[in-house]
């Protein structure tokens, strides 16, 4: 049986740096990212792709506010916004992958599955929302929206304004994981659990409801890789390796580290909570549960077996 790889694309897969996020920018970035993923297909891997959605869902929330204030278009809750972003990003990735498969004379189907991810309604994250979403506002604007919508706002550490913060609970279960695995094992490239998945909670009667939250896409990607029996888990970002003492004179790239070493660096505060921290923890989760390797690297380095940082048991 072929190896199955799960690749989690970083937020820079579609919108980078100070880009506005125009469709031409996003399509060009998606094309470059997908060129790297084709390297895994050429190596014979079955492939599942998951992706971030931070900038996109933020823009959707801004359109929510603009549409309501100007035309009284009803606002949509965060779970619907995540679903919208999954569809749009999935379409862009599908299109670019299909074009690259055609260029490389590879016959494969590409399919996006709008994926719900179960979270625990009693997760402590709901009592302490920390994940910023949407745009920056003046304190007075933030106070008005907080009163009108029962939202929580916090000042940006870089003093750019006030942003809404929401809970970021841990993923508990990937819905339709069996179908995702079957499709991938049949040779299809599957895009699933985008943006960490649409957060849903299970009721006592077995039914599900959406909930205002954002799930970390790397942690959800690790769970997706575990539940689909992946051989390897790739976390693709905008730097070639994981570093300790990042951006310091004594900065050092790490080629390989065990779970024990990774946890030590994590506890020592080497990996920032808003960037490399969740990636390293996701890699630890996958390797701990499966005994298989996780690799953190750039998407254009997937042809190089020596690229990236490998987390081993």
Listed in sequence order, the residues at least 6 apart from 182 whose beta carbon sits closer than 8 Å to its beta carbon are none
Tokens for 123? 């997760």
Which residues are part of the catalytic machinery?
A: 11-12, 131, 217, 279
Torsion of CA 122, 123, 126, 131, to 10 degrees: -160
- How far is the C-alpha of 34 from the C-alpha of 94, rounded, in Å? 9
> Exposed e or buried b for every residue in 13-43, given b needs 16+ CB within 10 A?
bbbbeeeeeeeeebeebbbebbbbbbebbee
- How far is the C-alpha of 19 from the C-alpha of 111, rounded, in Å? 28
CB contact at 8 A, 253 and 242: yes
């Amino acid at each position: 049986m072929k190896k199955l790889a799960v690749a989690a694309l970083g937020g820079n897969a579609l919108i980078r740096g100070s880009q506005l996020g125009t469709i031409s920018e996003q399509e060009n970035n998606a094309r470059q990212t997908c060129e790297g993923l084709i390297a895994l297909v050429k190596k014979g891997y079955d492939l599942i792709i998951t992706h971030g959605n931070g900038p996109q869902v933020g823009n959707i929330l801004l359109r929510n506010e603009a549409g309501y204030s100007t035309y009284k278009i009803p606002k949509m809750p965060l779970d619907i916004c995540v679903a919208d972003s999954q569809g749009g990003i999935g379409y862009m990735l599908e299109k670019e992958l299909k074009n690259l498969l055609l260029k490389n004379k590879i016959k494969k189907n590409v399919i996006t599955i709008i994926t719900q991810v179960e979270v625990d309604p009693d997760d402590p994250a709901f009592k302490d929302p920390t994940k910023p979403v949407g745009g920056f506002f003046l304190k007075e604007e933030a106070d008005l929206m907080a009163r009108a919508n029962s939202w929580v706002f916090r000042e940006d550490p870089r003093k750019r304004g006030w942003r809404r913060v929401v809970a970021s609970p841990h993923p508990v279960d990937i819905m339709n994981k069996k179908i995702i695995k079957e499709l991938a094992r049949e040779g299809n490239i599957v895009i699933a659990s985008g943006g960490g998945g649409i957060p849903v909670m299970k009721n006592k009667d077995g039914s599900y409801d959406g909930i205002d939250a954002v799930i970390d896409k790397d942690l959800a990607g690790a769970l997706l890789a575990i539940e689909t029996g992946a051989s390897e888990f790739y976390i693709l970002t905008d730097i070639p390796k994981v570093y300790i003492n990042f951006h310091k004179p004594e900065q050092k790239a790490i080629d390989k580290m065990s779970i024990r070493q990774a946890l030590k660096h994590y506890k020592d505060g080497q990996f920032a909570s808003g960037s490399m921290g969740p990636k390293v923890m996701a890699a630890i989760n996958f390797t701990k549960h499966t005994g298989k390797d996780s690799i953190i690297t750039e998407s254009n380095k997937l042809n190089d077996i020596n690229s990236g940082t490998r987390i081993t048991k």
